[in-house]
Amino acid sequence: MKTRLFVIASSLIASLLAMPAMAQSTPAPAAAENSISAAPAGPGMMGQGARQNRARPPRDCQQSPNPAACNAQREARSKAMEACKDSAGPQRRACMREQRANFDCSKSANPQQCEAHKAAAKACQGQSGPAARRCMQEKMPPVDCSKSPNPQRCEQHQKAREVCKDKLGPDHKSCLREQFKTK
């Protein structure tokens, strides 16, 4: 009786331990051959190949409201990517940040806002994360809502930003949602 119980318990435990391994099935070799791009999986859950396949196509600057600004932005981004192509990780982020600081604001859609953003970024240069976001919010001048397509909505955004400026993360998001609820 004890032997039979021991065998049943052992087989039950073995099957429960093997279930996670069975659940992690791999695709059949024929499916990998028929796929459009069988990129090798890199670090992370999706791998580098899947991430590259999901990239958006380039934006058509002719259909943008300001084609000259769109082309200037595209050109600046391609120059920055070319300049930073040999670096990775934090060094690449720092390189891209430096390259963005060299952007010519005269070609921007809103040159005054671009210059203000560059000045704020320079003032907040050594900070990162929530401290950098808070610093940028403090250094940036308020938006001129008279030039906005929807001044009432712009003013509502400004008030919400002011009320929620001391909160971070999920608390900040929930505060903004509360501000935008219809009254």
H-type helices in the chain, by residue range?
2-23, 29-34, 47-53, 67-83, 90-101, 111-123, 130-139, 151-163, 169-180
The candidate with the shortest Cα–Cα distance to 141, out of 162, 155, 165, 120, is: 120
Q: How far apart are CA 46 and CA 42, in angstroms?
A: 7
Q: How far apart are CA 74 and CA 68, in angstroms?
A: 10
- Two tokens, residue 78: 């391609």
- Two tokens, residue 134: 């808070």
- Residue 91: C-alpha distances to residues 22, 45, 123 (Å): 41, 23, 20
What average pLDDT does this structure show over 80-84? 87
Please give the pLDDT value at position 26. 55
Q: How far apart are CA 161 and CA 179, in angstroms?
A: 9
- Two tokens, residue 73: 């932005």
pTM, two decimals, is 0.51
Q: How far apart are CA 176 and CA 157, in angstroms?
A: 9
What average pLDDT does this structure show over 82-104? 82
Q: What is the DSSP letter of 41?
A: P
pLDDT in tens, 25-81: 555 544 444 444 444 444 444 444 444 556 677 778 888 777 877 888 888 888 888
